[in-house]
């Protein structure tokens, strides 16, 4: 899932909220991100146990789809009401983590050790993007923002078309495990990684505008979405490189 959480049209409303009390800070965002990550892993643990047999039964599939839908609904609620990130963000992380745990267990059952590799790559890529942004080697200009935003929209459109094609018995648009499939996943992973640039930039803008401390949770929520998307794409790439994509 792409990251719609920190979109520009909401920035003015967010940063103008609350003139008194504690303010948003990098430390506050980091703390909230740590808490959300803990809940993500907690959900992932139970999802892993559900999928560790390496097979998707009808019951497991229903649980996974139910969690994906629940996470999607919760994310839209938080996007509509950013202050709710503090109250229901943990629930979002748990249900999202549960679905990811099932997917990860199934991948790991076929390709042992792939999950650890994917997690390490995800953290490594996120830190590299943070370094490039923090040192100013990559500046988030208006042009860069437009390019990344259009890329995210294109990625979302691709996901929707690919899912519909699969459901309707149409052609496989993701290229399976071949060179085309690996190339598509690499492009999607680059787009997912680039969303961290927008997250970091907009968090900095909210902090500079003295946003209320409540938005620490909203900033962390956006980072979680980017992290999850990047992880899933890296997991897909590693799976394709080892022989195919898990379905």
Return the number of other C-beta atoms located less than 10 Å from residue 142's C-beta: 8
User: What pLDDT was estimated at residue 245?
Assistant: 55
User: What pLDDT was estimated at residue 163?
Assistant: 77
Q: Is the dihedral of CA 91, 96, 71, 205 positive or negative?
A: positive
Residue 217 CB contacts under 8 Å (≥ 6 apart), including other chains: 32, 36, 85, 86, 89
User: What pLDDT was estimated at residue 116?
Assistant: 95
Q: Compute the distance between CA of residue 233 and CA of residue 22 in angstroms, rounded to an integer.
A: 37
The structural domains of the chain, with segments of one domain joined by +, span: 23-241
Q: Compute the distance between CA of residue 192 and CA of residue 198 in angstroms, rounded to an integer.
A: 11
User: What pLDDT was estimated at residue 246?
Assistant: 54
Q: What pLDDT tens digit does each residue of the chain (247 aa) get?
A: 445 555 555 555 665 555 567 899 999 999 999 999 999 999 999 999 888 776 677 778 888 889 999 999 999 999 888 889 999 999 999 999 999 999 999 999 889 999 999 999 999 999 999 999 999 999 999 999 999 989 999 988 888 887 777 767 666 666 555 677 788 889 999 999 999 999 999 899 989 888 889 999 999 999 999 999 999 999 999 988 887 655 4
Q: Please enumerate, as own/partner, the contacts of 58-66 that have beta carbons within 8 Å and a separation of 24 or more.
A: 60/102, 63/98, 63/102, 64/98, 64/99, 64/102, 64/103
| C-alpha closest to that of 78 among 65, 67, 92 | 92
User: What pLDDT was estimated at residue 2?
Assistant: 44
User: What pLDDT was estimated at residue 228?
Assistant: 95
Q: Compute the distance between CA of residue 112 and CA of residue 163 in angstroms, rounded to an integer.
A: 27
Residue 78 CB contacts under 8 Å (≥ 6 apart), including other chains: 5, 84, 85, 88, 89, 92, 218, 221
């Amino acid at each position: 899932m792409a990251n719609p959480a920190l979109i520009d049209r909401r920035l003015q409303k967010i940063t103008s909220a609350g003139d008194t009390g504690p303010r948003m800070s990098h430390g506050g965002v980091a703390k909230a991100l740590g808490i959300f990550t803990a809940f993500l892993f907690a959900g992932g643990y139970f999802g892993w146990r559900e999928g560790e047999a390496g097979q998707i039964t009808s019951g497991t599939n229903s649980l996974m789809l139910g969690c994906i839908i629940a996470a999607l609904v919760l994310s839209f609620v938080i996007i509509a009401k950013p202050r709710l990130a503090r109250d229901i963000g943990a629930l979002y992380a748990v249900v999202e983590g549960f679905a990811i745990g099932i997917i990860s267990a199934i991948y790991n059952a076929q390709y042992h050790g792939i999950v650890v590799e994917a997690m390490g790559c995800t953290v490594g890529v996120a830190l590299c993007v943070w370094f490039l942004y923090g040192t100013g080697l990559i500046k988030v200009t208006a042009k860069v923002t437009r390019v990344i935003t259009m890329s995210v929209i294109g990625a979302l459109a691709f996901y929707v078309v690919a899912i519909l094609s699969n459901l309707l018995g149409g052609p496989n648009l993701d290229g399976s495990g071949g060179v085309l499939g690996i190339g598509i996943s690499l492009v999607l992973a680059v787009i997912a990684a680039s969303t961290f640039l927008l997250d970091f930039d907009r968090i900095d803008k909210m902090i500079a505008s003295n946003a209320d401390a409540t938005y620490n949770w909203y900033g962390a929520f956006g980072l979680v979405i980017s992290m999850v998307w990047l992880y899933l794409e890296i997991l897909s790439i590693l799976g394709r490189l080892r022989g195919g994509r898990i379905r």
